Amino acid sequence: MAAFALAMKTPGAAVFEARSSYVDVTFVAVPQAPNTLYIRATFRDISTVSAAHIHTNYQGASGPIIVWLATSPEWQHGVLQNTPLTNSTPSYACCIVPPKATGLGCRPAPSAVPSDMCTLVAPPGTRDVSGLGGKTVYYVIQKNVCDSCPWISDGTFLDVHGKNFQQIYGCRVVGTTPGIDMLASVPFQTGAEARRT
C-alpha cells in the first residue's frame, strides 16, 4: 500500500483505471521506474469469477497477460479449446502428459515450447480469488525486460473471467463449453478520463 501511495504522489506519474462489476483496478506508472507498475485492485462480487488479469492492448483487443491479479481452482484446470485436445492457439501444445504432483493443470507435451502451457495455469504465487471479495489488494509488478516483451505503451485491458469453460483433470477434458468465459473486458483509461465517464 505504501509503494502505491508513494507512486500516486510522484511528479509525472501516469494513473490508469478500469472498473467492472467484479473488480476495480488502478495502476500507476512513474517516469523514474518505467518497467514497474504499482497496482491497487478492489474486488467486489467475485462469486462467479475464476480469474482476473491485466492484458496489453493488441489491435483494440486484449493481448498478452502482463499482470495476474487472481486465479481459482477452475482457472488452474481450465483450457482454451475449440475441440477436445486441440487448443485454439497453434503455438500451444495439446496436453498429453499427466498432471504434476499438485494436480493443477498438466505439463506441456514434450514437443511444446517450455513456456507454452496447454492449460490456463496462473504463475506460482497468484492470489486465489475466493478470498478476495470485498478486499483491496496491492501489487508491485516488474516487466520482463526484453525487446519483444509486451508492456503498457499501446494501452491495457482489465479482463475478468467466469467459470463456464472446459477444464482438464488428469488430461481428460471436462465440460463442453470452449473458450474462456469472458465476464468483462474493460480498457484502462487515464485517471482523468475514467473520472469523466
Confidence of residue 39 (pLDDT cuts 50, 70, 90): very high
- pTM metric for this prediction: 0.78
CB 143 within 8 Å of CB 151: yes
At 150-183, the pLDDT tens digits run 889 899 999 999 988 777 666 566 776 666 789 9
User: Which residue shows C-alpha cell 473486458?
Assistant: 185
Quick: pLDDT tens for 82-130.
Answer: 444 443 333 333 333 333 433 434 444 444 433 333 455 778 889 999 9
Confidence of residue 47 (pLDDT cuts 50, 70, 90): very high
Q: Write the single-letter amino acid at 87.
A: N
In the chain, domain spans: 2-196
> Helices then strands (H, E): number in the chain?
3, 13
Exposure on the CB side of residue 51, measured as CA atoms within 13 A:
28
